[in-house]
Amino acid sequence: MTRDRMWRRLLIAMFVAVVAFTGYHAARTVSDAIYWNAHRDEPIERWMTIGYVAHSYHVPPHVLHRALNLPPAPDRRPLGRIAQDTGQTMTQIDGKLTYAIVHARPPYPPPAPPPRSSPPTSSKP
């Protein structure tokens, strides 16, 4: 095999890899867009996470964290676990989230930005 033929095969293989990579991510993007278009404003359930509810209702996650008195850090626990850990019922969680969602959308003013984490203070004598 000549050197030119080897380079040509290498370039073709790289091109095929790039096309496959691009096709995969394009298909995932379209799939995600179709999924979220069909899952707007879903009723809040125990299995959902705060991030899922925020995405479904188009509300910033920090608004929902604030409504449940949780730190603004990402929390991947399902709402049922959050209710159990905080000693609340799922009805209370649902009510707080619904209230926050309603007040984070028009005609109400947009929600405040997420709180900034303050740098640690040094305690020198």
- Taking a C-beta distance cutoff of 8 angstroms, is the pair 74, 62 a contact? no
Gap between the Cα atoms of 88 and 92, Å rounded: 6
Name the more confident of 116 and 59: 59
Strand partners, 49: 78
Tell me what pLDDT residue 75 has: 87
Q: Report if residue 122 sits inside a domain.
A: no
Task: Quote the tokens at residue 72.
Answer: 């603004």
- Number of compact structural domains in the chain: 2
**Do 32 and 84 belong to one domain?**
no
Report field, pTM of the whole predicted structure over 0.85: no
**Do 81 and 24 belong to one domain?**
no
**Do 54 and 98 belong to one domain?**
yes
**Do 92 and 79 belong to one domain?**
yes
Name the more confident of 31 and 98: 98
**Do 73 and 28 belong to one domain?**
no
- Taking a C-beta distance cutoff of 8 angstroms, is the pair 80, 92 a contact? no
Gap between the Cα atoms of 112 and 33, Å rounded: 27
Name the more confident of 105 and 62: 62
Question: What's the rounded mean pLDDT across residues 40-49?
Answer: 90
Gap between the Cα atoms of 58 and 43, Å rounded: 14
pLDDT tens-digit readout, 53-90: 999 999 999 999 999 999 888 889 999 999 999 999 99
**Do 50 and 70 belong to one domain?**
yes
Tell me what pLDDT residue 81 has: 95
